[in-house]
């Protein structure tokens, strides 16, 4: 049974930082590409960052390049999203997604950037 535990979301002031975590179980984590998405109210879900199986290749949306960093620890079955210099437009529910033999999503964690 695939399970996701997302954490790290919350309320932060503009310019602040948060670190999201997504711990997974129920499949062989190292065989899966992991991606963070986000969805703001009234908007479509969008890709934020992707990291390949071994962590050597990462891809970012233009809107977060230079501010966000995706990483993974295959020994802990966990993917992270370090978010710095946060802006109000980063406010959204953030989801992690695992793609490989199967395709599965986490439940999401709310990030709110506001003064």
Q: Taking 90 as the threshold, does the pLDDT of residue 105 lie above it?
A: yes
Q: Taking 90 as the threshold, does the pLDDT of residue 1 lie above it?
A: no
> What is the structure's pLDDT at 41?
92
> What is the structure's pLDDT at 2?
86
In the chain, pLDDT over 70 holds for what percent of residues? 100
Q: Which of 9, 10, 42, 20 is nearest to 97 (CA)?
A: 20
Termini Cα distance of the chain: 40
The pLDDT confidence band at residue 95, using thresholds 50, 70 and 90, is: very high
> What is the structure's pLDDT at 26?
93
> What is the structure's pLDDT at 7?
96
């Amino acid at each position: 049974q695939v399970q996701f535990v997302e954490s790290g979301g919350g309320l932060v002031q503009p310019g602040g930082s948060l670190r999201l975590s997504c711990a997974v179980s129920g499949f062989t984590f190292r065989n899966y590409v992991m991606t963070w998405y986000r969805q703001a109210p009234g908007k479509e879900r969008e890709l934020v960052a992707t990291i390949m199986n071994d962590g050597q290749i990462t891809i970012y949306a233009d809107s977060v390049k230079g501010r966000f960093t995706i990483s993974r620890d295959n020994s802990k079955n966990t993917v992270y999203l370090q978010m710095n210099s946060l802006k109000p437009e980063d406010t959204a529910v953030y989801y992690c997604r695992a793609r490989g033999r199967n395709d599965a999503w986490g439940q999401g964690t709310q990030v709110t950037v506001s003064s």
